[in-house]
Each structure stands twice: as structure tokens, then as C-alpha cells.
Structure 1
Amino acid sequence: MMRYIRLWLSLMRLSFRGAPVLTAVTLAVSVLDVFVVAGYAIAARHLVDTTVTGPASVAGLVALGVAVAFALTMVTRDMLFNLVGTVADRVGRLELNPRLHVAIAGIDGLEHLERQEYLDRVTVLRGAAGSLMRGCWGVVATVCGIGKLVVTVSLLGSVSPWMLALLAFAFAPILADARGQAAVARAEVRSAEDYRLQQDLFDLQVRPASGKELRLYGNGDRVARAQAEAWDHAVSQRVRARLAAGAWRFAGWAVFTLAFTGALALVVRQVEAGAGTIGQLVLTVTIAATLQQSAQAVVTTATDTAGVRRYVEPYLWLQDYVAEQRQEPAGTTPMPSRLDAGVAVEGVTYTYPGTTTPAVRHVDATFPAGTVTAIVGEYGSGKSTLVKLLCRFYRPGAGRVTVDGQDIAGIAMAGYRQGIAATFQDFGRFAVDYRTGVAVGDLPAFDDDDRVGSAIEAADAAGVVAALPDGVRTQLGKDLGGVELSEGQWQRTALARSSMRDAPVILVLDEPTASLDALSEQVVFERYASRSRRLASQNGAVTVIVSHRFSTVSTADQILVMHDGEIVERGTHTELIRLGGRYAEMFELQARGYENKEKKK
């Protein structure tokens, strides 16, 4: 319970910080709404009693008071609805949503993106910031609604003490709804994986890239059926939970309705026996009529608020997960600006979350300062995992990675990342203008047009820019009304981005030219080879290349051959060919393939 209270307090503080005046006005109107119905009932009682026993002038004034009280009941209800909606959406979108994004982006590594439980919670939380804030205000509305019930039932108690028992029965629907909504929240999380699967399958059918192949190979119906099955499985779990919640709601309302009917019959009998005035009868009927509405409003608000629990639990889980990740010892040692010994991998083993087979195991390797190391091997051999460990995206399950003898876990993360430049095979496609898509590769140099131009030139991307309608200011990404680049053009953009940092000590190229033709690949690698030599002379930088194309790795100072998560061979190109092992076999197969292509020409 304390966790929920702390969460509510933090969201209210966020609301006061993001919209102080709007929040204060909403709270004031919420408190006013507690008393307006009671004021209206009291005014009605006085009006009737004064009409029967008092002068007409006084009755007229009381009637005016009744009209004012009635108007307040109408105005506060509509005003409160609009105020809550406005403040919840505003704070949710402008304050809480960025906070969620910062929390997620603040996790240093990528391991969480491999965890099913993390992905399930993020799926539930997507676009839920406004709902969380409405839930926060739902708590306020529920408390105020209960306060309104207390005030109205107290007025009824002035007529008959037995009426006070109605307050206890008014909580029956609330408790029943809370139990039902807890079941709905659990179902939301349980079905998140199926829901995400059906969404992915839907996207697969409507996106142009995948749509071509689905139609060509006749798999559209099969994918549609798979999506329908995933949807049915997800929805069936949620429907069952909502049916159970409906049954709980019916039971709660049945208890309250029986108690309400009995109490009302008791008061009517008492008035018939002459134990009260006509004004008290009017007050009783007025309050009794509004009591049901007030109780229903409390239940509805409480139900909606309890329904937000399906977002609250994932949000609290995410908070705990982020806090746990940040409790890991943070490095404080600065990243060397020049390498003397180089980088070393010592007995490193890593297993992806949710799997049991290590992606890399017992890997030992050295990357001497000022050298180029190529890593080759079949798909799934562990090459990309190894370079991601070098980039500190994952924490080794065993062993360590060192830079000049210093465990990278002890190096400050921001400084370590600043010392790396990298291009990955699964590069980002940022829907921004072209210049921004390159310049984000080095934020301190973001406004340096010369640096951006040099990076574009280094990646052989000048031709891409020349073909764009507005040059480097061209918006990219079809979804935002921009230009959609080809796969090779996106890869050149990623290469330009990695060229922004002018003095990295670790340069990583993970299949950097997989989407380029042979001629473009040769041009890019010649420029990167020149850059590697310059960096090696300048600061002893280490270059690590992952590639399936042996023509690009043969000139490396050393080549590491990976198989099934282990390094099985190492040496220069000449040494490995002479060895006649796995590298020589793969090189021969690829060379033979190129020869056959040339003969066919």
C-alpha cells in the first residue's frame, strides 16, 4: 500500500510542477463538489419548512438559495470533468511521458531489450502516461466522493441513526470492483506477449517491405491466421477477466441496493408516524435520491481508478527495474584518450536472457593498441555479441573486458562510450533531417558543419546527399512525410554518423557494408583503412571489423575465427590460409563463388 501512496504523491508533485495553477484549481473544485449536494438538500429542507410555517419573503430568499445550490451542483460536475481531463492529459504528455522515456533510455546496456518481462511491461505502458495521471486524479475523485457520501449519510443520520449504516454498505460495490479490476490487470500482463505478437504480425502484413514477400510466396493467409489466433488468445484472456470483474460488480451493487431499499422504507415509515417534519422528508428523499448517484459515481471512479492498476503495476515494476540497474556499481575511472596496451577480453562468457546456451563462452583475445582485428565466422557464431560486449552493451556473465589493463566496469560509462565510434549491422534509421541523422554521432560537435561534411565524405555519402531534394536539410522517413532512403543509403548514413567522432580509441565496424555493392564497399573500406591508420598513429586506437566478406579482412593485423561462441583460430590471413583450417575453408568457398560469378559474366 505504501508503494501506491508514494506513487500518488510523486504524481501529484509532478502535476504541481508541470501545471501548478490548473492543479490547484482542480483540487479546489474537487473539495467544493463534496459539499454542494448537501448544501442543496439543506436549502430544500429550509425552503419547505419556511413555506409551511414562515413568511413568504423568507421563503423567497430560501428558494433563491436552493436555485444557487442546484446551479453549483451542475456547474461543479461539468467543470470538474473538464479540469481533470485537461490537467491529466497535459501533465501526462508533457511531464510523465518524457520521464518514462528518460528512465528507459537511462539504462546503460541493451540486456533489458532481450528480457520478455521487460518487453511485456513496456507494451502495456505504451501511450499510458495520460491514463496514469487520470488514475492519480481518480484517487482524488474517489476520496472526495467518499467524503460526499459521509456528508450526505450524516444528514440522513440526523433524520434516523439507522441511515448511518448505509455508509458501510456503500463500500460493498467499491471493494467488489477493486477485486474484479485486479483480475483484469493480471490478465493484461499475461496476454501482453500475445498482443505484441499479433501487432507485429499485423505490421508484417501492411508494411511494403514484408508485404512484397508475403504476396510473392503466398504466405498472406497464413500470417493473417496466425495474427487472428494470437489476437483471439490475447482477447479471450482479457474477456474472461472482464466477465469476472462484471460478476464482482453485480454482487457489490446487489448488496448496496438491498440495504438502500430497506433504509429508505424505514425513514418513510418514521415520517408517516409523525416523527419528522415535511422538510425532513424532503431532505431525506433528496439525499436518498442523490446518495445512489453519489455511490454510483464513487464506484465508477473507483472502478476506473482500479482499472489503471493495469498500468500502475508495470510502471512500478519498471521503476524497480531501473533502480536496480542503477544500483550496479558505477565506474569512475576516466576513459584513456590514448591506448598503450590496447583492449583485452579475458575468459568472457555471456548468455542472453531467456536462453540457456551461451552466445560466447570462455573467450580470450587481445586487441593490441594501434592494430586492426577482424572477426569472422558463420551466422550465430558470436561475432556481434563479442563486439557488443566490447561496447559495454552487455555485462559478461563471467570474465572481463579491459582497456589498458583497467576493467571497463570501473570506467565511467559516459566517458567509455565517448571513446568509441561504431557502425552496426542493425543500424538505426532516424526519421530526422539528414544532417541531424549524421550529427548525432557526436553531440559536442553537433553544430560543426565542417565535421558533418567530413563525416559524410568519409562514408562516401556525398552522392546520397546530392540526390536529396533539400540536401542535408531533407526530412527522412516516409511516416513523417520525408524521403525514404534505400537500404544502402541508410547504411551510408549510419557510416557517416560513426565518422563524426574524430578521436575514438575503439573503432567498431560490425558488418558495416553489408548493404553496399562491391565497388562502394571497396571505396568505404579504403577510407576506413586510412582512418584506422590515422587513429592508430594519433592515439593508438584499436579497430575491430566484423565481416563475412574475406576480401575486406585479409589485410587485418590479426583475424579471429569464431565458431559456436568460441574463438577456434587466430592469426594473420597468411597464417590462417597456411593452417588449412576453418578460415581457409571459408575463404576458399567464397573465392570459388566469386570465380564462378566472373565466369558466368
Structure 2
Amino acid sequence: MIAALRATGEIMAAAWRDSPGRMALSVVLMILGGAAPPLLALALKDGIDQVVAGDVAGAVLTGGLVGTLAVCSLMLHHFAFIPYGEAADLVTVTMDCELIELANGSAGLEHHERPDYANEISLLRKEIGQYPDALVGLMALLSLGVSTAFTAWLLASVSPWLMLLPVAALLPMYATHRAQDVQNGARERSATVSRQARNLFELGTSAAPAKEIRVFRLQDEFRRRHHALWADEGRVLARAELRSALIEAAGQLAFSAAYIAAVLLSLRQAISGHGSVGSVVLVITLATQVNRQINSALEMFRRLQRMTRGMTRLRWLRALIAAHQPPPADAEVPDSIRTGIRLTDVAFAYPGTGRTSLHEVNLTLPAGSTVAIVGENGAGKSTLVKLLCRFYDATAGAIELDGTDIRRFPLDAWRGRIATGFQDFVRFEVAAGQTVGVGDLPFLNDENAVLAALDRASAASVIDQLDQGLTTQLGKTYANGRELSGGQWQKLALSRAMMRKAPLLLILDEPTSALDAEAEHQLFERYAEHGRRIGQANGTITVLVSHRFSTVKMADLIVVVANGHIAEAGNHASLLELGGTYASLYRLQAAAYQS
């Protein structure tokens, strides 16, 4: 209950910050709307007593009041919905923005890559969409609170014993609270299965996998697996639904007994002369209202419980992101690199796995050099790149730039001097020029800067093929959007990496996977030449990551990663002379391409 009250306060505070005028108007209208039904019952009592007493004039006036209160009961809540419905939408936008900020506001990637964190964030995404309903529920609970207070006062005026009727209403509310806990537990237990089923659904309904699904005749297999996953989740949820239904039924039966007792008590008082006919009508009307209030309250409490779970997860995510903020910086990122980047006894294990991905890495990347990191899939190449970008910090050891640990630099300032192109690049569905320009936001709409980046990436031909050039809308999200091939998207991503003119570190992590080996080799040659030019000016280090050994032989330093450690390091000629892993795999791949 404390968690529910805390969540209520947070949602109401957020709504008030976004729309104080709307919320104030809604509160007034909901209070009046809550008071109208019990006052209507009181007016009915007085009207009936006046009719029995023969007071025609009083009965007519009371009838008019009854009509007015009936209209208020029906209309005030509807009028209140307009402002608080708009406030609810604004709260949802605020919460969406906060979730986006939290998802991208941490120093690293741990909350994206850990499965247990992914489950929590997946549930939070779903629950945030229910926040408008939650705010509607809170406003309805406010109205119910006012209505219940008036109802209790009027019941007490007939008999103090009738005060127990609203108290009895707490039993089904508590039962609903317990039932919701049962359902929440079931949803959490089935979260992984649910995420897998949604992933299958997205694969089966998206355009990208459609070709392989048809060629490999996977339709039936997708349906079978999707059905099996939902069946597994359904069994867990069905058991929870049955158990929660029995709990709620017990609460409702308890209140029904109290309802019957209240009606019998009012009839007994009327028969014994201690009450009027109007009092009997009052009790029956109020008891019926209490029953409706309970049913409404139960639904509102369900919404409140869902909102409570969502707010609890949101607080968890806030705490998680806050705990993963980088340590205070006490050094400035230099304008240029004098000696290079040195990795000393670096080890790393992904959080939550207990498995070491890198161990005892000792390596120097000289200033102004072009460094190729090669190795088979899973060797640890991309993990090394993540440490250089500080998506994670090393578990042990240190990474130093000119003798200064990079953890001492302000994180934003360090990343501001890095340019990257990744294998799993983003397809920004915006204007073609902006797809490139986001690589250096101050020059987002600078046509000359974008064209220069396209030229450095050998991607100007992609723009030349678009009818509206840099202003062409990209992506299928838009009716007039132009869809590109995988290779074209990749070239624009590479151009994005070339937007920053003088980075300290240029990293290309298998960015040409959609290209053949010859095309990759030519691009790497061009990038290496570009890296050497800017390296002469400010010591920029260019890092090329590839699993194709034959495409990186132009590099000044070739680093072979195997099983999480540095197996070999040197230039192409020295590694061939060494006759180790590089030489073996280079000749093997070269022979395969020649054949």
C-alpha cells in the first residue's frame, strides 16, 4: 500500500507539473461529481418523506433538486475527463521522454545487454502505455473517496451500525490487492517467454525476414513456436487468473453479506417506527451506490496496482542508471595524441555472466597509426572496441592515453573526440543528408560538411541515385520514403563516421560486412589513407576491425585477437615471417578468394 501511495503521489505530481490548470479544474469537477450521487439519495429521501406527509410544494422543489443532482451525477465526470484526459496524454509523453533518456542516459550498455535487465525494461515499456488509464483511475478514486465520505455520513445519520458498510468495502479492496499481486507475479515469471513470443511475432510480420521465411518454408515453424510460447505463457497466466478470481470472489461475498444486513436493519427500524420510508429508500440507494463504488474502486485499484508496478520499475531503472554513472572526471581530453593509447593488463567480464571475455591484454596503439584488429568471430574484437569507447570500463588493468587513464576524462568529452562505424549500424529514417549529418550534430544541416563526409567514405554515388539528393526522405515508415539496399545504408553509416574531421580515435568495427572482400579492401585502404592524413595533424589513431585478414594488410599495426587475449601483433610482413596464426589464416583466406 505504501508503494501504491508513493506511485500515486509521483503520477499526480508529474501531471500537476505538466498541466496545473487542467488538473485543478479536473479535481474540482471530480469532487463535485463525487458528492452528487449521495446528495441525490438524500434529496430522494426528503422528497419521499414530503410526499408521504402531503407537502406538495416541498416535494416539487425537492424534485427539481433531484433532477439537477441527477444531471450533475451524469455529466460532471464527463466534463472532467476532457482536461484530465489531456493531462494524462501529456504525462505519457513525459514518461516516454524519461524512458528514452534513461535508456540512453547511462555511461554504458549493461542495461541493454543483460537479459534480466531487458525483461524489466520490456515490462516497463508496456506499463508506461497504461499511464493514461492510471491517471484516469486516480481521478476516479478521488471522486469515489468524496462519494464514500458523504455516503458514510448519511448512513451514520440513519444508524451508527450502518457505518460498518463502507468499512466492509475494504474487504473486496484488499482481496483485489492480493489478486493483483498474484497476477503481477505470473506476468513476471512469464516475461522471458512473452518477450520471445513477441520477437517471433515481429520476425514473422516484418519485411526484412520475409524472403528467408518463404525460401526456407518457416511459416509453419514460426506459427508452431509462437503458439507454443503463448501456450506456455497462457498456462501460467490462466492459473494466476483463476486463483485471483477466487480471492476476489471471497471479498465480494463478504461485502454482499454486509449489504444484505444493512438493508434488513433499515427495514427493521422503519417497521419499529424509528425510521421513515424515505430512510429505507436512502439506505437502499446508498447501499446500491456503495456496491457500485466498490466495483469501480476495484477496477481503479487494479489500474493503480499496474501503475505501482510501472513506477517501481521506473524507480529501479533510475537507480540503475544513477549507479552506473562514470566517476568524477579530473583530467581534460587533449587536443592531440602525442604518444598513443596503452592497454596494461586489461581484463573484462560482462556483468552478470561471470565469464572473462578479455584477459591480460597488453597493447600499445601508437599515435598517428592505423591499427587493424583481426580475429575470428567471438574472439573479443568488439569487446575491445567497447572498452575504447567506454561503453564498459575494464574489470582490471588500465587504458591510458598519453599516460592518463581514459576513465579520468569527462565521458561526453571523450566520446566527442571519437568517430565510429559499427557493423550493427542504425538506419535513421530521416532525410538522406541528416542520416549522415547526425555524425556531428553541430553540422547536421551543413551541406558542404555532409558532402565532404560522403566523399571521404566513397559514398557520394548513393546520394547521386536519389531523386531529391540530400533532402530525400529515407525509410518505409513514410509513404514517400525511399528504401535503400543494405550496402547503401552501410555506406551512409560509414559517411556518418567520417563527419568528425579531427577525431582522436576513428573506429570502424566491421562496418563493411555487406561488401565483398575486394570492396572492403579498397575502402579500408581509403580510410587508412584518411587516417594517416589526420594522424599527422593531431595523432589520430585509426582502428579497423575485421575478420577478413586479407583486407587489412596495409595497417601499420595488425593485432590478432584469439580467445580473449592478444595472440600476435606486428605489421603484415613481420606476422607473415612469424608464421603464426595470422600467417596461417591470411594464406587460408587468400587461397579461398583466389579459388
1:456 maps to which residue? Answer: 454
CA contact (8 A) 2:127 2:307 kept: no
Give SS of 1:126's match. Answer: helix
Mapped to 1, the partners of 2:6 and 2:304 lie a distance apart of 16
**C-alpha deviation, 1:354, in angstroms:** 4.0
In structure 2, the residue matched to 1:13 is 13
Q: Residue 418 in 1 paired to residue 416 in 2?
A: yes
The AA in structure 1 aligned to 2:312 is E
Q: Is the 8 A contact 2:18 2:87 kept in 1?
A: no
Q: Distance in 1 between matches of 2:184 and 2:84?
A: 23
Q: 2:217, 2:267 → 1: CA distance?
A: 74
- Contact map agreement 2:434 2:445 (CA 8 A) in 1: no
Partner of 2:500: 501
Aligned match of 2:53: 53
CA distance in structure 2 between the aligned counterparts of 1:461 and 1:503, rounded to whole angstroms = 19
SS of the equivalent of 2:445 reads: coil
Identity among equivalent pairs (%): 36
Deviations 1:336-389 (A, max 9, x none): 110112111122222223433222112111111111111111111101110111
Q: Is the 8 A contact 2:262 2:287 kept in 1?
A: no
Letter in 2 for 1:452: V
CA shift at 1:135, angstroms?
2.0
**Contact 2:183/2:244 (8 A) holds in 1:** yes
The answer to whether 1:71 aligns with 2:71 is: yes
> Retained in 1: the 8 A contact 2:179–2:248?
yes
1:599 corresponds to: none
Mapped to 1, the partners of 2:294 and 2:333 lie a distance apart of 63
**Contact 2:178/2:247 (<8 A) preserved:** yes
Tell me the equivalent position of 1:227: 226
Report the secondary structure of 2:344's partner residue: strand
- Cα deviations by residue, 1:54-107 (Å, 9 ceiling, x for unpaired): 643333222211111111111123334555444322321x32211211121111
Counterparts of 1:484-495 in structure 2, within 5 Å, are: 484-495=483-494
Q: Secondary structure, in 3 states, of the residue corresponding to 2:398?
A: strand
The structural deviation recorded for 1:295 is 2.1
* Structure 1 residue 8: Cα displacement: 2.9
Residue from 383, 392, 403 that aligns with 1:394:
392
State the distance in 2 between where 1:506 and 1:440 align: 18
> Match of 2:393, as an amino acid?
R
- Partners of 2:284 and 2:424 lie apart in 1 by 70
Q: Name the residue aligned to 1:27.
A: 27
Partners of 1:354 and 1:216 in 2: CA distance: 38
| Structure 1 counterpart SS, 2:130 | helix
Mapped to 2, the partners of 1:82 and 1:247 lie a distance apart of: 37
Deviation of the 1:524 alpha carbon: 2.4
Which letter maps to 1:215? R
- Pairwise CA distance, 1:30: 1.8
Letter in 2 for 1:121: E
- Seen in structure 2, the aligned counterparts of structure 1 residues 130 and 475 have a Cα distance that, compared at 3 Å, is same
Do the aligned partners of residues 319 and 4 (structure 1) sit closer, same or farther apart at CA in structure 2, a change above 3 Å counting? farther
User: Which residue pairs with 1:268 in the alignment?
Assistant: 267
- Among 344, 352, 355, the alignment partner of 2:353 is 355
In the TM superposition, what is the alpha-carbon distance from 1:136 to its structure 2 partner? 4.0
Q: CA deviation at 1:522?
A: 4.2
Indicate if the aligned counterparts of 1:26 and 1:83 stay in contact, CA closer than 8 A.
yes
Q: CA–CA distance in 1 between the matches of 2:413 and 2:3?
A: 35
Aligned amino acid, residue 300 of structure 2: T
Q: 1:139 to 1:492 in 2, by over 3 A?
A: same
For residues 23 and 119 of structure 1, the distance between their equivalents in structure 2, rounded to whole angstroms, comes to 34
Tell me, in whole angstroms, the C-alpha distance in 1 between the residues paired with 2:242 and 2:82: 30
Q: What CA deviation, in whole Å up to 9, does each residue of 1:85-141 have, x standing for no partner?
A: 44322321x322112111211112112211112211221122533412432442343
Amino acid at match of 1:50: Q
Conserved? CA contact 2:342–2:362, under 8 Å: yes
| CA distance, structure 1, for counterparts of residue 457 and residue 36 of structure 2 | 70
Q: Is the 8 A contact 1:116 1:354 kept in 2?
A: no
Residue 175, structure 1, aligned to residue 184, structure 2: no
One-letter amino acid of the structure 2 residue matched with residue 342 of structure 1: G
C-alpha contact (below 8 Å) 1:184/1:307 kept by paired residues:
no
Determine if contact 1:421/1:504 at 8 Å carries over to the other structure: yes
AA aligned to 2:564 is G
Separation (CA, whole Å) in 2 of partners of 1:6 and 1:285 = 36
> Cα–Cα, structure 1 residues 303 and 202, in superposed 2: closer, same or farther, change >3 Å?
closer
Structure 2: distance between partners of 1:237 and 1:535 = 60
Aligned counterparts, 1:527-566, within 5 A: 527-566=526-565
The CA deviation at 1:29 is 1.5
TM-fit CA distance, 1:278: 2.6
- Encode CA deviations 1:418-445: one digit per residue, 9 max, x unaligned: 0100111111111111111100000122
| SS across alignment from 1:441 | helix
CA distance in 1, matches of 2:2, 2:393: 33
User: Residue in 2 aligned with 1:466?
Assistant: 464
In 1: Cα distance, 2:458 partner to 2:4 partner = 55
- Of residues 78-87 and 480-489 in structure 1, the stretch that sits farther from structure 2 once superposed is 78-87
Aligned residue identity for 2:411: M
Residue in structure 2 matched with residue 197 of structure 1 by the alignment: 196
- In 2, the alpha carbon distance for the partners of 1:371 and 1:3 equals 56
Letter aligned with residue 380 of structure 1 = G
Matches within 5 A, 1:317-336: 317-326=316-325, 328-336=326-334
Amino acid of the structure 2 residue aligned with 1:551: S
Q: 277-286 or 560-569, which moves further after superposition?
A: 277-286
2:288 corresponds to which letter in structure 1? A
Distance in 1 (CA, whole Å) between partners of 2:3 and 2:344 is 42
Select between 299-308 and 239-248 the one with higher mean Cα deviation. Answer: 299-308
CA shift, 1:314, in A, is 2.4
Contact (CA 8 Å) 2:4, 2:308: kept in 1 or not? no
**Unaligned 5+ runs, structure 2:** none
Aligned residue pairs: how many?
Answer: 594
Which residue is equivalent to 1:370?
Answer: 368
Distance 1:320 1:520 in 2: 46
What is the deviation of 1:10? 3.0
Match of 2:393, SS? coil
Amino acid at match of 1:502: K
Q: Which residue of 1 aligns with 2:254?
A: 255
Relative to structure 1, the CA distance from residue 296 to residue 514 in structure 2 (aligned partners, 3 Å threshold; closer, same or farther) is closer
- Aligned CA distance change for structure 1 residues 190 and 310 (closer, same or farther; 3 Å): farther
Range with bigger deviation, 257-266 or 147-156: 147-156
Q: Distance in 1 between matches of 2:4 and 2:409?
A: 37
1:515 aligns with 2:514: yes
SS of equivalent residue, structure 1 residue 430 = coil
Residues 1:198 and 1:352: Cα distance change in structure 2 (over 3 Å): same
Answer with 446-455 or 491-500: which moved more: 446-455
Residues 460 and 523, structure 1, Cα contact 8 Å, conserved in 2: no
Structure 1 gaps, min length 5:
597-601
Of 560-569 and 106-115, the range deviating more from structure 2: 106-115
- In structure 2, distance between residues paired with 1:236 and 1:434: 48
C-alpha distance in 1 between matches for 2:28 and 2:101: 32
